[in-house]
Structure 1
């Protein structure tokens, strides 16, 4: 009778063999040119809208805010902890890490929920979602999320990262805006972000210096019509901000997940107010109707951030709820289940795709 029980020792040997086979496979595919070995290979020319590479960034399960700080260096934040991480453009392990909690004026166990970053000259402006918790106002207020502050642009290792400016949050400016009173109603202020409450996810500076804040939620909706995404234009007013304009954009009933400056306007990731649904990439010149950009392969992601490099778009995914399989013998679990801030795990990473223009 065959004994199908596998001892722990046998299992470890099996995993080592599988790992060895995988390394050999990766070596062969690299030699054949099937895996990107550098920036030129990763940004190979293909048809417009086609994905030419998938990249992996280890150490966290999502990149909710991404900005380029060097020729081939990215700085990222995520909405699960307060740690900024730098990476090589093509991914891998972090080049540096920095817990931003102290600089932002919050405890390390308080989640800032950083959703966007905007570059203004030599400053990087980081913004929290300003939203409530999942339950809404009843005992689920999240004051640390009402945060906006500026740092310098650090080196790749982040050793010289420092706070430059810290402003009061945007809540008062949004509450006091006549342009937003019919949208940000008392009911909306008491809702959780994914139930239609306030949720800031995109931020960028306009050429005139105004801060443009993209809302994932709420949408501006008239009865019987699809909701329009909101971009709130803010201007510094003393120690705070004031709303000077509001753009209402037709994005097929989607909100803003990210907004990024490019020549002639902005790239925008649009996604559902709630979890799931289909995301899309748009170009907006700042005044006219946004143009939908065709991207094959984007639906395999949960897109949350976008940048442009060398004429190509890089779209980053929130993989916190994406299933990962530890090994042949164990069941799949969500990426976030493997995350441990004290140690790295090979299944804790978020993905990005390189898209040809």
Structure 2
């Protein structure tokens, strides 16, 4: 059984406008020093917890990203943050970039339920790829974010928040992908229907690895590799890393599973993988050895991936609960997993929840 660590959230910071508690929608987690950075999929905030003497995490602080970035819809709609990473004194963030199909409501007439199921909507803030400067507070020892600050490694250089050029319904990356032979046909399909859905982010040097929950093509999941560079006035642009396009593709045969999260430890990439569509199924952690040394595009067959373990998920009467969504490097031997829609047994009091720590080495 996995070791568990308790995460304590502040009741004053934990409910969104719809009264959903942050612990009920955790979508990503990042570990930096004594801090955990977390996001809930129905907010425009990121949350920071700090390690306590008993090994739990608490002292909850919330940061509204509209204070640091030019969100297309301000704080009026969710970002659906699905990935975070830290590199070169920047905290990187990515939204899901996905469309969503409305859910039928049982109390309504059949005609109204069918009508809702035909409606596809979006949230403008989901089209976000951004970076925010991060520094370590000398007094508290906590990492914190700011709009701009001196680079601690190069005091003559200023770190500034910036984001990829975008609009209310797209951004530069999506516009480029519309012409992609593998991804283009899925651009107008909601994420839960195997349409495009970015749910993983890992950083290595200047590289960003974007893990796609969908589309999955004949069992093959996709990782996009990109590099972003400054374009002035708080904007970023895609670097042309291939002669014909500004991204590389890596296909991983995860036997039908999509990517829920990515993390890099040493030279290896760890992949949290699960069902791409809205269904119950096995969620597992894989290791792709020496992934960061790959220079070209790759087809990574099942035999070239290590399937490390399965992650618990709800089934039977608890179907749809304990959906593993976030993966963090806990220490050099362990990963941490956080869950969306936790089971009651995972909840601690009114405002706490447990995360799993999984030994991988």
Superposition TM-score, scaled by structure 1 size = 0.69
> What residue is the counterpart of 1:161 in the other structure?
146
2:26 equivalent among 63, 75, 81: 63
Q: Which residue of 2 aligns with 1:85?
A: 47
Q: Name the structure where strand makes up a greater proportion of residues.
A: 2
Query: Where do residues 167-246 of structure 1 align in structure 2 (5 Å cutoff)?
Result: 167-169=164-166, 171-177=171-177, 180-185=180-185, 188-207=186-205, 209-221=206-218, 227-236=219-228, 238=231, 239-241=236-238, 243-246=246-249
Instruction: Decide whether the 8 Å contact of 1:132 with 1:193 is kept in 2.
Output: yes
**Residue in 1 that maps onto 2:130:** 149
Which deviations, in whole Å up to 9, do the C-alpha atoms of 1:56-89 show, x marking residues without a partner? 343412332222232x211212212122211134
Measure the CA separation in 2 of the matches of 1:313 and 1:203. 18
Residues 200 and 210 in structure 2, CA contact (< 8 A), matched pair in contact too: yes
Map 1:3-82; keep pairs closer than 5 Å.
50-58=1-9, 59=14, 60-61=22-23, 62-70=25-33, 72-82=34-44
Alpha-carbon distance between aligned partners in 2 of 1:69 and 1:259, rounded to the nearest angstrom: 16
Would the alpha carbon gap of residues 159 and 110 (structure 1) be closer, same or farther in structure 2, given more than 3 Å must change?
A: same
Query: Is residue 95–residue 157 contact of structure 1 (8 Å, CA) maintained in 2?
Result: no
- How high is the TM-score relative to the length of structure 2? 0.68
CA distance change for structure 1 residues 171 and 351 in 2, over 3 Å: closer, same or farther? farther
* Count of residue correspondences: 280
**What secondary structure does 1:176 align onto?**
helix
Which residue number corresponds to residue 332 of structure 2?
A: 311
User: Closer, same or farther in 2 for the Cα pair 1:118/1:159, shift >3 Å?
Assistant: closer
Corresponding residue for residue 4 of structure 1: none
State the 1:92 CA deviation: 4.3
> Which residue of the partner structure matches residue 309 of structure 2?
294
1:100 maps onto 2:47 in alignment:
no
TM-fit CA distance, 1:348: 4.2
Larger radius of gyration: 1
Query: Per-residue CA shift, 1:252-278, capped at 9, x if unaligned?
Result: 211111101101211110011123211
CA RMSD of aligned residues (A): 2.9
Give 5+ residue unaligned stretches, structure 1: 1-49, 222-226, 326-333, 336-344
Partner of 1:341: none
Q: Whole-Å Cα distance in 1 between the matches of residues 276 and 4 of structure 2?
A: 28
Q: 1:270–1:100: structure 2 CA closer, same or farther, 3 Å change rule? A: same
1:137 positional shift: 9.4
TM-superposition CA deviations, 1:262-320 (whole Å, max 9, x none) = 0121111001112321100011122553211025x533642111122332333333333
Cα deviation digits, residues 34-58 of structure 1 (max 9, x gap): xxxxxxxxxxxxxxxx512343343
Aligned to 1:121: 88
The yes-or-no answer on 1:283 pairing with 2:245 is no
The one-character-per-residue Cα deviations of 1:224-257 (angstroms, maximum 9, x if unpaired) are: xxx2110011123654225331001011211111
Q: Any unmatched runs of 5+ in structure 2?
A: 15-21, 103-116, 148-159, 241-245, 295-299, 315-321
| Cα offset, 1:158, TM superposition | 6.9
Match of 2:154 in 1: none
Aligned partners of 1:175, 1:97: CA distance in 2, in Å?
Answer: 32
Say if 1:175 and 1:184, in contact at 8 Å, map to a contact too.
no
